[in-house]
Structure 1
Amino acid sequence: MLATRRIVLGVSGSIAAYKSAALVRLLIKAEAEVQVILTPSASAFVTPLTLATLAKRPVLQGFIKDEAGGVWHNHVDLGLWADALLIAPASANTLAALAQGLCPNLLTAVYLSARCPTLVAPAMDLDMYQHPATQRNLQQLRHDGVRVLDSPAGELASGLTGPGRMLEPEDIVGVLEQFFADKPLPPR
């Protein structure tokens, strides 16, 4: 069901970013094409080399591709290329930027340019997740048509227990398979 689907996977700064490697692996195994974009803080949690190796294409991290040559990553092209924009993990900071239409990095620029559906898998500590500002941002994103993959309760990296965990990679792939089940492939 995911064969030849083009997925832009945005990885934001959260401890759950380590799960993005398994997610890329599962998407590639399902024969999807995956383009990973790391936010500046995400590379503190998972390396671009790991994700590029699994995705079989370079990981994009910033607007500028080649500063000396003045070449930039075209966020518009990425938004048009994708069949889905999946942000997993979606940190509180990234969710806030998306909800407010801010554009501090390549990932948020792609989001603002994308014509494809967007799915987000929140991941943060319990208090951050339950904070009224985060809940407002999630509600705004739902209102804007973003599919929010609910955060399950469980043990968090801080030792607290409750919602805030990123949905497991296998479950995210299952959501994508269901999402695309009755949608024909667009002309290429």
Structure 2
Amino acid sequence: MVPQPPSPLSPLAGRRLLLGVSGSIAAYKSAALTRLLVQAGAEVQVILTEAAAAFVTPLTLGTLSKKPVLTGFLRDAASGQWYNHVELGLWADALLVAPASANTLGQLANGLCPNLLSAVYLSARCPVFLAPAMDLDMYAHPAVTQNLQRLRSFGNHVFDSPSGELASGLVGPGRMLEPEQIVAELATFFGSPSGAVRNC
């Protein structure tokens, strides 16, 4: 089947999106999310944390995004070439972190900068969207609740976690919002008057 080109009326058509993928079992959903964003006409640059690479490979996401996946600051250690987090932050129309693990949320909420993804977040001038994903008791922990509140207070868009069966077998909130719903939320944002103008 030949893939159909995105509708020129799609609010995501031509948008430059950074997709940060952090270490959660929900990282497997980032493949479907990347495919849907590209099908909607977005240009997707994936940033994969070291922990996330245990769940989904750069090869998979690079094939789907049609761009090399960034996994660290260094492009070529021998020559000293590196990926400029400031340029990446300025390039994007939006930064989406999905899944956003408890560890990554803690880094972003407290200004910690141990990897390329958190450095890009601190440098980004564009809207930021976060899709939390973790187990039930982690999601309900006061530290995580406080971090989510703090991130919202910074102006970030934090998706609520739907309730359902988790990888641990527990049932409750903590699941990552489904890729189709995330794409719909982004399309709604960019289709609105506030999102129609590039905010970076």
TM-score scaled by structure 1? 0.98
Match of 2:196 in 1: 184
- Per the TM alignment, residue 184 of structure 1 is displaced from its structure 2 partner at its CA by 3.1
How far off is 1:64 after superposition? 0.6
Structure 2's unaligned 5+ residue stretches are 1-10
Residue of structure 2 equivalent to 1:58? 68
- Give 1:10-29 correspondences, 5 Å limit: 10-29=20-39
Number of equivalenced pairs: 187
* Per-residue deviation, residues 121-149 of structure 1 (Å, max 9, x unmatched): 00000010000000000000000111000
The answer to whether residue 128 in structure 2 is matched with residue 137 in structure 1 is no
Compute the displacement of 1:185 (Å).
Answer: 5.0
Q: Distance in 2 between matches of 1:6 and 1:57?
A: 12
Match of 2:131 among 115, 121, 138: 121
Moved more, 176-185 or 136-145: 176-185
8 Å CA contact 1:5, 1:185 repeated in 2: no
In the alignment, structure 1 residue 174 sits paired with structure 2 residue 184: yes
Return structure 1 stretches of 4+ with deviation > 2 angstroms.
182-187
Q: Which runs of 5+ in 1 are unaligned?
A: none
TM-score when scaled to structure 2? 0.92
Structure 2 counterpart of 1:82, one-letter code: A
Secondary structure of the residue aligned to 1:116 is coil
Q: Report the RMSD for the aligned CA atoms in angstroms.
A: 1.0
* 8 Å contact kept, 1:79–1:116: yes
| 128 and 56 in structure 1: CA distance in 2 versus 1, 3 angstrom threshold | same
